[in-house]
């Protein structure tokens, strides 16, 4: 469903573990599958899931309490949207140690996280026809261990370990900026993004079919940030702090520099998603129009 007023072809819908109501799926082109903070710890048995005060804490923060439950919930999230036939489903290709999400330093090995993710998805897809997911998955970079997209690192792991081939990559510009320490200006942000793209092979560029476009100029916050003492924080308090911390680093602001068009053209994704951060509908529309207005 096109929206001429906002110059969009449709929406990317954030989904959960229940079927999407028909009224919400009318304008849908793609979906963003649920993401979890630390699934790698419980999936591999390295860490236990922390207990929050609400019933579904483990599922929303770790996909589940143990390996079997994690696989079943990943399978469920795909099953819930497969019948909708979205063009793609975004999946965060990373995991952040729950004990470290209130800071900026992570200690898990990124390659190990990617291999575990492939193992998790292969197992989850075994019950689907042909062992393939019921929708095309596109793997999104973050600044936590996993797929980071500072260069080609990680591409070989995905190609050699996934047991299905109908997948792509979603380049999130804001996440890539946070990983690099963010920027003080949009011009610096574009320089940083282009510097990473200089290291991309043609194989990686072919796999980047989606882009979440937004900018962060949060370098001063990151430079001055001091991680808090979390020893006396409850799991719920850690999540609340982490949401504020992450939202400050990764504010999902709209680009206003018209040179961003050159970067997008360089990557040439099939789907360009203007992923804005305002907490109100009015703010979202305003931010969207600001960034969308830079493009023909």
- Cβ burial, residue 39 (10 Å; 0-12/13-18/19+): buried
- Domain assignment present for 4: no
> What would the pLDDT profile of 160-197 be if each residue is shown by its tens digit?
999 999 999 999 999 999 999 999 999 999 999 999 99
Q: What's the CATH code of the domain at 183? A: 3.20.20
- Domain assignment present for 1: no
> What would the pLDDT profile of 260-289 be if each residue is shown by its tens digit?
999 999 999 999 999 999 999 999 999 999
> What would the pLDDT profile of 116-160 be if each residue is shown by its tens digit?
999 999 999 999 999 999 999 999 999 999 999 999 999 999 999
192 vs 123, 180, 204, 216, 265, CA distance in Å? 37, 8, 18, 12, 16
- Domain assignment present for 147: yes
Strand partners, 256: none
- Cβ burial, residue 274 (10 Å; 0-12/13-18/19+): buried
Three-state secondary structure of the chain: CCECCCCECCEEEECCCCCCCHHHHCCEEEEECCCCCCCHHHHHCCCCCCCCCCCCHHHHHHCCCCHHHHHHHHHHHHHHHHCCCCCCEEEECECCCCCCCCCCCCCCCHHHHHHHHHHHHHHHHCCCHHHCCCCCEEEECCCCCECCCCCCCCHHHHHHHCCCCCEEEEEEHHHHHHHCCCCCCHHHHHHHHHHHHCCCCHHHHHHEEEEEECECCCHHHHHHCCCCCCCCCCHHHHHHHHHHHHHHHCCCECCCCCCHHHHHHHHCCCEEEECCCCCCHHHHHHHHHHHHCCCC
Domain span at residue 117?
A: 11-292
Q: How many CA atoms lie within 13 A of 203 on its CB side?
A: 8
pLDDT band at 2 (very low <50, low <70, confident <90, very high): low
Strand partners, 91: 139
> What would the pLDDT profile of 213-222 be if each residue is shown by its tens digit?
999 999 999 9
- pLDDT (mean) for 55-74: 95
What predicted TM-score, i.e. pTM, was given to this entire model?
Answer: 0.96
252 vs 1, higher pLDDT: 252
- Res. 257: pLDDT tops 80: yes
- Domain assignment present for 3: no
Q: Which of 69, 181, 79 is nearest to 132 (CA)?
A: 79
Give the chain's domain count: 1
> What tokens were used for 247?
């939202």
- Domain assignment present for 19: yes
- Res. 21: pLDDT tops 80: yes
- 167-172, strands of its sheet edge to edge: 11-14, 28-32, 89-92, 137-140, 167-172, 208-213, 271-274
The span from the CA of 265 to the CA of 256, in Å, is 16
């Amino acid at each position: 469903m096109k929206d001429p007023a906002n110059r969009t072809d449709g929406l990317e819908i954030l989904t959960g573990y229940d079927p999407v109501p028909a009224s919400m799926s009318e304008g849908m082109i793609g979906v963003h599958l649920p993401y979890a903070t630390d699934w790698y710890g419980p999936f591999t048995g390295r860490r236990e899931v922390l207990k929050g005060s609400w019933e579904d804490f483990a599922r929303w923060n770790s996909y589940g309490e143990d390996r079997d439950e994690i696989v079943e919930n990943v399978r469920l999230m795909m099953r819930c949207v497969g019948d909708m036939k979205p063009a793609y489903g975004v999946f965060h290709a990373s995991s952040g140690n729950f004990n470290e999400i209130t800071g900026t330093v992570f200690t898990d090995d990124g390659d190990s996280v990617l291999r575990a993710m492939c193992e998790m998805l292969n197992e989850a897809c075994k019950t689907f026809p042909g062992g393939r997911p019921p929708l095309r998955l596109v793997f999104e970079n973050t600044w936590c261990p996993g797929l980071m997209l500072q260069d080609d690192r990680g591409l070989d792991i995905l190609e050699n370990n996934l047991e299905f081939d109908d997948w792509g990559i979603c380049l999130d510009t804001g996440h890539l900026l946070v990983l690099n320490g963010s920027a003080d200006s949009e011009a610096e942000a574009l320089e940083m993004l282009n510097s990473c793209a200089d290291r991309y092979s043609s194989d990686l560029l072919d796999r980047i079919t989606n882009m979440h476009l937004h900018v962060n100029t949060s370098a001063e916050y990151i430079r001055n940030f001091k991680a808090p003492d979390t020893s006396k924080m409850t799991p719920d308090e850690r999540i609340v702090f982490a949401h504020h911390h992450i939202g400050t680093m990764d504010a999902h602001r709209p680009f206003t520099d018209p040179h961003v068009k050159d970067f997008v053209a360089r990557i040439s994704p099939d789907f360009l998603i203007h992923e804005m951060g305002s907490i109100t509908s009015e703010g979202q529309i305003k931010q969207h129009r600001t960034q969308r207005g830079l493009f023909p």
